[in-house]
């Protein structure tokens, strides 16, 4: 029996689950090697998945619209159109009947992936100690980010995952999000105290029984105009923003900056580099360059917290928050402090374009060590940005506008803008964070210092 499994790919170190958004081939269709079979959506992007071989798409195991763990079979391809596949038993099948049936199938599939983690682990670069601990704790290494050389998963990565990951099945997490149930209030009945779907439903039932029913609103005010499910990218944004606010000790410092020389430099570079680049250099390009320089000089701001240990990072990877049709995404420019203006400006536009088109690889949108968010184009002066975990801080940038300023005892017109630095007080104290922001201010006001 010549059966080829089509696997839901792991598109980057941070991807643990994916949702098949559309099957472009149907059961029985002939397929060629390299032909697109389906599209898959991760938390960050929608990508096309190609056929691994030539043959016929005999069976679709996972329908469109359902979230599944990566590295599991989602379809079967055979050499012959009428080949018997009744003996195939390697992967669980999902039969869509009603919502409870789908949820039970998803839970069973997740359980099976955990029980057969040996198969997944063989495809993942990990140390023997990490694999041993993962087997003992029932951890799927496909969900763990590696911090070792070349992304290798080491023992401390598994320990960090166990400490930070919620002990709940994916189905229980989705039910909790839909029902507004805090998983911290749920007692798990599964193996090792893992929270199951039934545990969440029981808590929701208790809340419903104890709540006092409010008086119904008049028809004119109770009608809902639309309902938007909290899923995909929107759900990821919600989780990350909540975590960035609730799991840190956030403090925001604001500072007004004279941006007159900053604006002048941008105008000169825009004219000088337009032919070379093929586009106009923007304020964000200069800001990334300035922030990357400051991060290199103040390494305690280029850090993250791992358990009880603060790690000062050697690499400076700066992310820029970008508004897209799919929600807020953060494309990353890696090694921003080591690249010339033209190189990283070009790279920044490439990752932004892929993010907005929904074709960015997960690694394009992960691994940042610091984030910049600029709302100046929306006429915002100052705001309180939320830390993009696991980073230590985030810089908010307001609009540039002309205003009268006292310089050497005289009133003169200058270009000014506000900076808002939110930092995690667990990692950095107020005075060091203020010095870092002062350095950014200095480099904006005297940008020629970038040449020093």
Catalytic residues: 425
268-275: which pairs have CB atoms within 8 A and are 24 or more residues apart?
269/341, 273/341, 273/342
Contact in structure between 94 and 102 (CB atoms under 8 Å): yes
**C-alpha–C-alpha distance, residues 78 and 5, integer Å:** 9
């Amino acid at each position: 029996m010549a059966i080829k499994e089509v696997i839901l790919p792991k598109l980057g170190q941070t991807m643990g689950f994916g949702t098949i958004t559309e099957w472009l081939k149907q059961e029985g269709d002939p397929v060629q090697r390299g032909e697109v079979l389906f599209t898959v959506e991760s938390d960050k992007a929608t990508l096309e998945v190609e056929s691994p071989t030539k043959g016929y798409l005999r069976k679709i195991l996972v329908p469109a619209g359902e979230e599944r763990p990566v590295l599991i079979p989602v379809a079967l391809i055979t050499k012959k159109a009428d080949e018997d596949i009744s003996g195939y038993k390697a992967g669980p099948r999902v039969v869509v009947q009603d919502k409870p049936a789908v949820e039970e199938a998803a839970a069973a599939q997740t359980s099976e992936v955990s029980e057969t983690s040996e198969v997944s682990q063989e495809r993942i670069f990990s140390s023997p100690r990490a694999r041993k601990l993962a087997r003992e704790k029932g951890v799927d290494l496909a969900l763990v980010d590696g911090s070792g050389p070349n992304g290798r998963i080491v023992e401390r990565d598994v320990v960090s995952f166990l400490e930070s990951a919620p002990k709940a099945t994916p189905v229980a997490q989705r039910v909790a999000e839909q029902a507004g149930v805090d998983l911290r209030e749920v007692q798990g009945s599964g193996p090792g105290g893992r929270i199951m779907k039934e545990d969440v439903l029981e808590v929701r039932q208790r809340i419903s029984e104890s709540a006092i029913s409010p008086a119904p609103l008049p028809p004119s005010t109770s009608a809902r105009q639309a309902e938007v499910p909290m899923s995909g990218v929107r759900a990821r944004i919600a989780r990350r923003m909540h975590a960035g606010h609730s799991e840190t000790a956030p403090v925001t410092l604001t500072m007004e900056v004279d941006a007159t020389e900053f604006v002048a430099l941008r105008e000169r570079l825009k004219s000088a580099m337009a032919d070379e680049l093929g586009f106009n250099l923007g304020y964000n390009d200069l800001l990334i360059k300035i922030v990357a320089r400051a991060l290199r000089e103040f390494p305690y701001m280029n850090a993250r917290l791992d358990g009880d240990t603060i790690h000062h990072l050697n690499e400076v990877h700066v992310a820029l928050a970008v508004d897209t049709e799919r929600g807020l995404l953060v494309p990353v420019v890696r090694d921003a402090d080591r690249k010339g203006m033209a190189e990283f400006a070009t790279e920044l536009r490439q990752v932004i374009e892929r993010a907005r088109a929904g074709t960015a690889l997960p690694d394009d949108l992960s691994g940042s060590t610091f984030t910049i968010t600029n709302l100046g184009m929306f006429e915002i002066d100052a705001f309180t940005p939320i830390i993009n975990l696991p980073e230590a801080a985030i810089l908010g940038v307001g609009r540039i506008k002309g205003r009268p300023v006292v310089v050497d005892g005289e009133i003169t017109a200058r270009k000014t803008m506000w900076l808002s630095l939110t930092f995690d007080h667990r990692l950095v104290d107020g005075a060091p964070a203020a010095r870092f922001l002062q350095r950014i201010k200095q480099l904006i006001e005297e940008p020629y210092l970038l040449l020093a």
